[in-house]
Chain A
Amino acid sequence: NAGVMQNPRHLVRRRGQEARLRCSPMKGHSHVYWYRQLPEEGLKFMVYLQKENIIDESGMPKERFSAEFPKEGPSILRIQQVVRGDSAAYFCASSPVRSGANVLTFGAGSRLTVL
C-alpha cells in the first residue's frame, strides 16, 4: 500500500520558468493538502482540495500559484514565473475524509530550487 507519492523529489528552475509538482494521495484517500516549508521554518498551509474541487485556498499566493486535483491523475501544484523566494520544500498530504479530526499522511516532499 503505497504512501503519498510526490514527484519530482528535487526540481531546479531558473527565474521566470514554471514549476509543476505532482502528488498522488494514498489509496483510498480523497483529500489532498499542500504545505510549503521554507528552510528552518514551519509548515505553511497553502491549499486543500478534493477531487475536482478546491475547498480552501486561503494560503495560496494570489498570483502565479495554482492547484488542481482532477478526476483522474495526481494533484498538481503549479508555480508560474518562479522567483528565488519560491525556493522551498513543498509537501503534499492526504487524508481519507474531510479533516476535522483526521490524520494527515505526508509525502516525502518536492524540493524546489530557483536559480
Chain B
Amino acid sequence: GQQVMQIPQYQHVQEGEDFTTYCNSSTTLSNIQWYKQRPGGHPVFLIQLVKSGEVKKQKRLTFQFGEAKKNSSLHITATQTTDVGTYFCAGFLHGSSNTGKLIFGQGTTLQVKP
C-alpha cells in the first residue's frame, strides 16, 4: 500500500547541535507538508512544498523536496529546547485529487538536552 516512511524514529541531541529527519514515499507525491506536535499537544502545520527540488527556510529550519517528489527532509540548525517535539511529514499522493487523504509518516521525536 501507499506509505510514507520517516527516519530516524527518535533523535537525542545536545542543545546547539543540528538535527535532520528524512521522509520517503513509496509513490510520487503531489506535495509534502510538515507538521510539529509538542508533547501532549496536537499537530501544527509548519510548511508545504509543492515543486520538485524545492527548498524553503523558516529561521533555523530548512525543508527540501526531492527532485523525484518521493522524498523530503527537515534540517534544524543549532537546536534549542523549544524544538522538542515530534516532526511529521505528510503527503497527498500524486493524482489523488479525488480524495483528501493526507498520509502521515510515523514521525521523528526530537529530544534536546540543555
Q: What residues make up the interface of A, taking CB atoms closer than 8 Å to B?
A: 31, 33, 35, 41-45, 48, 55-56, 58-59, 91, 93, 95, 98-109
Contact = CB atoms under 8 A, between A and B. Distances in A.
A43 B45 contact: no
Given A55-B99, A99-B92, 9 more contacts: A56-B100, A91-B42, A95-B100, A99-B100, A101-B30, A103-B33, A103-B45, A104-B43, A104-B45
Interface residues of B, number: 26
Contacts, number: 67
B100 A42 contact: no
B81 interface: no
Interface of B: 6, 30-31, 33, 35, 41-45, 48, 50, 88, 90, 92, 96-97, 99-107
